[in-house]
Amino acid sequence: MEKLIHKYAAKLVAARMADPGGPLLAGMDDEVVWNREDPARGTLLEVMASLNINSMLHCRPAEPYGSIVEHLAKASGAAIEPGDTETRTFLHDLPVAPTLEASELAGRLQRRKSVISPGGFVTTFGTVSPEEAFIVFSSVCFACFVKFLSDCLAAVRERDLTARERRLIAAVEDQLSPLPGDPGGLVRSGPCSTEAEVHAEMARVGRLVVEHELVDSYFGNISYLLDGVLHISQTGSSMDELEGCIDPCPLDGSSSAGITASSELTAHLGIIERTRARAILHGHPRFSVAISLDCDVPDCPGRGRCHLECSRDRFVGDVPIVPGEVGTGKYGLCNQVPQALVGRRGAIVYGHGVFTSGKDDFTDAVAGLFDIERMCREEFFRRI
């Protein structure tokens, strides 16, 4: 357990979601172990004792996340309500506690997977592993970042942005890492010929998109078609730790490996069928998601159902924005994304993320993901 809590504390710092020495992590072994000393440990011990959990994470996110979380918490009252797909599906809302008292935190954590306390601190937990706490924390950072961007885009149509909002936008711009203009040399050029090559390349691309902050915690997926078998990342797998987490799914359905495959397996299969691409990449770039949430039709009769269906053709530049939910139902993104990718470098799913593809290798898929997020960054600052 001690090794795990130090691992996920380090991953938060490496992902620029926490400052060095910032994450406070506790894990239940024979007794509760901690990654460091902190005055909040007593309060968190009380919370752990009142919940059926085995780990807890408490941290103020690194900038600009920390100030964004604090800003939204002050403006939102009892709970922050982001509009991105992952929050709507998995977190629902982000409760805000008025104090750091154990009873305030525990009461909210009995209903939700996270709680935000004064000062912009985020507290999350795991029932099986500290990885769960890490995933929720990073999802909260992502959700708040996207909500702040989308709130600002909505606000500029009605009023001037406040001085604080502009300071936060400037901090966001200052913290952005450049995206490579050409993935050449970063990924393999040319088709893979063996399963080992496929898995090695998928793991390399997975680490690459995490390194450039183009996925949200473990969300995102990747696949490659070789000899009638679609090799796809497993559901719940971390994109930067794909070794041993890739499922071979024969297109003829002769294997049950798809049971543990990504929940978006059907979308990948549809993309292959429609586009004849062999390499598929799905990430959650923050500006692309925020731009997809920005609609300039306030009286649209479909408002509130944008993630299910939209009566308009929406684009950012040449890239379509389509509705769609995870899964295979009537509104499943598997029914929208494959067609949207035909003849295009990518597609953005409303509130969700970006799909790209490559004919024989991941070069075009990675370049498309980078280029679309870069375009959406530029579009955000243009609209602001």
List the single range of 74-88, 231-245, 293-307 with lowest mean pLDDT: 293-307
The model's pLDDT over 156-172, given as tens digits with 9 standing for 90+, comes to 999 999 999 999 999 99
Tens digit of each residue's pLDDT (9 = 90 or more) over 221-239: 999 999 999 999 998 899 9
Position 168, amino acid: L
Nearest to 215, CA basis, from 316, 307, 141, 286: 286
Asked if residue 356 lies in contact with residue 371, where contact means CB atoms within 8 angstroms, the answer is: no
Choose among 165, 168, 244, 238: nearest CA to 207. 238
**Does residue 207 come out as left (phi exceeding 0), alpha (psi in the -120 to 50 range) or beta?**
alpha
Domains and CATH numbers, the chain: 2-175 (3.40.225.10), 195-383 (3.40.225.10)
Percent of the chain with pLDDT over 90: 82
Burial of 348 (0-12, 13-18, 19+ CB in 10 A): buried
| Confidence class for position 258, pLDDT limits 50, 70, 90 | low
Residue 3 has pLDDT above 80, yes or no: yes
Counts for the chain of helices (H) and strands (E), in that order: 12, 15
Distance CA 91, CA 83 (A): 11
| Spatial distance between the Cα atoms of 129 and 221, rounded to a whole number of angstroms | 22
Please give the helix or strand (H or E) that residue 124 lies within, else none.
strand 121-126
Is residue 217 scored above 80 in pLDDT? no
Residue 232 structure tokens: 């796809």
Tokens encoding 182: 């050409």
Residues 108-120 have pLDDT tens digits of: 999 999 999 999 9
Hey, how many other C-beta atoms are within 10 angstroms of the C-beta on 77? 9
CB atoms under 10 Å from CB of 188, counted, come to 17
Residue 110, class by beta-carbon neighbours within 10 Å (0-12 exposed, 13-18 middle, 19+ buried)? exposed
- The predicted model gives 145-162 an average pLDDT of 96
Range from 192-201, 228-237, 309-318 carrying the lowest mean pLDDT: 309-318
Please report, for residues 43, 66, 79, 110, 140, the alpha-carbon distance to residue 98 in angstroms, rounded to integers and kept in the order given.
Answer: 15, 17, 11, 16, 18
Q: Is the pLDDT of residue 47 over 90?
A: yes
> pLDDT digit string (tens) for 329-376?
788 899 999 999 999 999 999 999 999 999 999 999 999 999 999 999
- Interval 122-138: pLDDT, tens: 999 999 999 999 999 99
- Cα separation of 56 and 42, whole Å? 12
In the predicted model, what is the mean pLDDT of residues 19-28? 97
Whether residue 303 has pLDDT greater than 80? no
